[in-house]
Structure 1
Amino acid sequence: MTIRYHWIRKAALAGALTLPLATAGCGFFSKETSQNIDPPPAEAQSGTQTTNAGAAAASADGQGAQSSMTVYLKDGNGYLAPVSLQTAEGTGISPGQRALELMVDDGPHASGLPQGFTAVLPKGTTVKSLHVDKNKLAVVEFSKSFTDYNPQDERSIVEAVTWTLTGISGIQKVELWCEGEKLSEMPVDGFPLDQPLTRAVGINLEQQQGTASRSTPVTLYFSAQTEAGDSYYVPVTRLVPRSGDSMLKTAMTQLIAGPLDSSALTGVMLPDVGVKDISASGDTVTVDLQDAQYKKGEKVPSEMLQAVVLSLTETSGASKVQIKLNGSSDYKDDNNASYSAPVSRPEHLNAFKS
């Protein structure tokens, strides 16, 4: 059994991500992001580089400077997924407000969203104001149309707004207002808003069967595929039983275990990959993966390594991950990128071709 088959998901069951990123329909990370990632030394670029930059959305008139922005949209399976869009830099409009405007259902940017993805904010919603204070709290005021949604969509709206805004530099918490009044709960189904929203709210929440009430959340990154065959990452917050393991070890254990049987997502690692050691120091997490069948010089699947970086930085709050393989960092992925140095978490995910 080769390492490619050993670490990529069961091809007969899924088929997603089995092609190198250079031949896939989209890249996982935007070109702008890959240029900003701290590059490993020597001849290779960072392991979280994209090979296909996306430009999925632009301003209504297509004019002005463009910048990359990650917003959370709903995919064809009902999951929220980060999507990197190209948008015009409007004068007097903050990045947070621009991001939220991209997320309005049937809004002015609807035609620019990638095929198979839909916006989650109710039709007609406008962002009346957005202010970020010195405590990194984003106070957002929506128009009346924000209250016009189905109860089953409420949590997705909360998660999408929170994860989009907290993905922007300088924002860690979110407070929601509507027509001049602070919301103490969501207006349709009563999701509590008595405290500022953070990423602790989770995303695409799932609970393992038999998990007791005493559980702990861990956010993992798995893969999905559009009808057009484009692969992308989806974050999932899984409630798991509390154990004596560190959160980093728990994250790796769950990442290796893969998606739940009922999930439409696909894992990026097989269960017999092991973790010899994992620890955090400063802004870097170091993990030593073990695989008895790996032979020195073989290329390691980039999508597996990228999922490790995303999951561990999400869990720890660190910005970089050093991934060792059988105790060594002297290897490259299937994009010929070196992992001899810690790899930075990207700012933007899932860049689709327009």
Structure 2
Amino acid sequence: MTHYRLFRRAALAGALALPLLTTGCGLFSQEASESIDPPQNSTQNVSGAADNNGVDTAAAQQTDQSQMTLYLKDQNGLLAPVTVLASLGESEKAGQKAIEMMVEDGQFASELPEGFQAILPKGTTVKQFNLVPDQNLAIVDFSKSFSDYTAAEERQIVEAVTWTLTGMQGIKNVEIWMEGQKLAEMPVDGLPIDGPLTRAVGINLQAADGVNYSQSIPVTLYFAAVTPDDESYYVPVTRLVNRSDNKAKSAIEQLISGPLDTDPLTAVITPDVIVKSVTTTKDVVTVELQDDAYQEGQKEPAQMLQAVILALTENTNATKVQIKLNGKTDVIDTNNQSYSKPVSRPEHVNAFKS
């Protein structure tokens, strides 16, 4: 309990500022809107400890750079979303450029932040990248070098490719091909990929203690980790939990329970917070939290509230989240963001200082 309360006090002091970028920032060119984590149309303006997360806005606009979120391996061996700037030529496709940036020791290796590494095998090239708009489908055709990985890396590669591409506008499904042939299974350890891949594949898979696998459902949560440069960032985890008739409520309860003891991650919410209800109406999911330690007028940790929003939009079809704390919506976070009205998911997560 002491650990979590210290974590909250540190957050309130601004010691932990998780970098998030949203449409409200207006930092980048129009192309940036084509490479975002759904849902879209966020009006939030959440940033890290440095102004614009260390990004030179003018320089980005002058060079027509776009944001894209890649899923890279962190120093703990977990996949994490990392938002980078990339220049796109007239004929370049954002999805293909993102995949090319995920190749180990590739031409874009120097553009990845310290503490993160590309997941695709060295020498991999994208032979063809096609979009099928009416199916919300991206087809990526890799060269033979794509198969130069170990069995232990296979699932992470599938997760990284799938989550990177489905984070882009208009893409919900992914097909992986190699040398012009659609793969029914991955080439090294035979992981089945015969159907279109979606975020249902999960990411950084784990199971809650005591879960009955035959009666389980997956929920995706967001916890915190720290880079070698002492910058905090979110790490998504898909956790198998016992089946429930309210998946969103189960997700927030798991978020409150925190990382597993074996995880190299940090909780983003104190364990004494209670989930009173989670309901969905049209495109808005409303979560009501009870926190007896909360005092009216107190600013709540931004990373806690944003983790709630990330989890709820990941586990429902809602595009906006209404947070109620002790029955009220007049909540302000440590970044002075108001939650009095429903807010949308941040477009980009983990944009580090350059």
What's the TM-score once normalised by structure 2's chain length? 0.88
Shift of 1:227: 2.0
Per the alignment, do residues 15 and 205 of structure 1 end up closer, same or farther by CA in structure 2, a change over 3 Å counting? Answer: farther
Distance 1:55 1:120, change over 3 A: farther
Measured after TM superposition, the shift of residue 173 of structure 1 is 0.4
In structure 2, distance between residues paired with 1:262 and 1:33:
37
Distance in 2, Cα, partners of 1:33 & 1:167: 18
In the alignment, is the contact (CA less than 8 A) between 1:125 and 1:146 conserved in 2?
yes
SS at match of 1:191: coil
1:97 matched to 2:66? The reply is no
| Separation in 2, partners of 1:204, 1:116 | 17
Q: 5 Å matches for 1:1-354?
A: 9-11=4-6, 19-20=13-14, 27-30=18-21, 34-35=25-26, 38-39=42-43, 46=44, 48-50=46-48, 52=50, 53-54=52-53, 64-133=63-132, 134-214=134-214, 215-243=216-244, 245-354=245-354
Q: What is the alpha-carbon distance in structure 2 between the residues aligned to residue 31 and residue 342 of structure 1?
A: 15
Separation (CA, whole Å) in 2 of partners of 1:147 and 1:33: 41
1:302 maps to amino acid: A
CA shift in 2, pair 1:105/1:33, >3 Å: farther
Deviation at 1:343, TM superposition (A): 0.9
Deviations 1:205-246 (A, max 9, x none): 001233222211000011111122110000000001113x40
Given that residues 32 and 68 in structure 1 are in contact (C-alpha distance below 8 angstroms), is that contact kept between their aligned partners in structure 2? no
Work out the CA distance in 1 between the residues paired with 2:281 and 2:45: 21
Larger helix share, 1 or 2: 2
- CA distance in structure 2 between the partners assigned to 1:238 and 1:347 by the alignment: 23
| 8 Å contact kept, 2:12–2:299 | no
Structure 2: distance between partners of 1:279 and 1:71: 31
Amino acid at match of 2:124: T
Kept after mapping to 2: 8 A contact 1:284/1:342: yes
Q: Is the 8 A contact 2:68 2:84 kept in 1?
A: yes
Structure 1 residue 37: Cα displacement:
5.3
**Helix, strand or coil: the match of 1:9?**
helix
CA distance in 2, matches of 1:141, 1:89: 20
- 1:307-329 CA deviation, whole Å, 9 max, x = no partner? 00000000002111010111111
Q: Quick check: 1:54–1:86 contact (8 Å CA) kept in 2? A: no
Q: Could you tell me which amino acid in structure 2 is paired with residue 234 of structure 1?
A: V
Q: Deviations over 1:147-175 (max 9, x none)?
A: 11111111010000000000000000000
The one-letter code of the counterpart of 1:9 is Y
Q: Write the distance in 1 (CA, Å) between the matches of 2:9 and 2:74.
A: 18
The 3 A distance-change label for structure 1 pair 37 and 299 is farther
2:19–2:53 Cα contact (<8 Å) kept: no
RMSD of aligned residue pairs (Cα, Å):
2.4
Count matched residues: 334
Which deviations, in whole Å up to 9, do the C-alpha atoms of 1:24-67 show, x marking residues without a partner? 6x75213656448543xxxxxx36444543478xxxxxx94101
CA contact (8 A) 1:173 1:196 kept: yes
Change in CA separation of 1:285 and 1:329 when aligned onto 2, cut-off 3 Å: same
CA contact (8 A) 1:172 1:198 kept: yes
The 1-side partners of 2:322 and 2:67 are apart by: 26
Do the aligned residues in 1 keep the contact of 2:71 with 2:79 (CA within 8 Å)? yes
SS in 1 for 2:121: coil
Q: Write the distance in 2 (CA, Å) between the matches of 1:242 and 1:353.
A: 40
Deviation, 1:272, is 1.2
Q: Which consecutive residues of structure 2, in runs of 5 or more, have no partner in the other structure?
A: 27-39, 56-61
Q: 1:97 to 1:19 in 2, by over 3 A?
A: farther
Q: What is the rounded CA distance, in whole Å, between the counterparts of 1:131 and 1:33 in structure 2?
A: 30
Distance 2:112 2:286 in 1: 36
- Seen in structure 2, the aligned counterparts of structure 1 residues 329 and 196 have a Cα distance that, compared at 3 Å, is same
**1:122-167 C-alpha deviation (Å, 9 max, x unpaired):** 0011111111112111111011110111111110100000000000
- Residues 234 and 349 from structure 1, CA distance in 2 versus in 1: closer, same or farther, beyond 3 angstroms? same
Instruction: Give the AA of the match of 1:189.
Output: D
**Structure-2 separation of matches of 1:155 and 1:222:** 21
Q: Which residue of 2 aligns with 1:43?
A: none
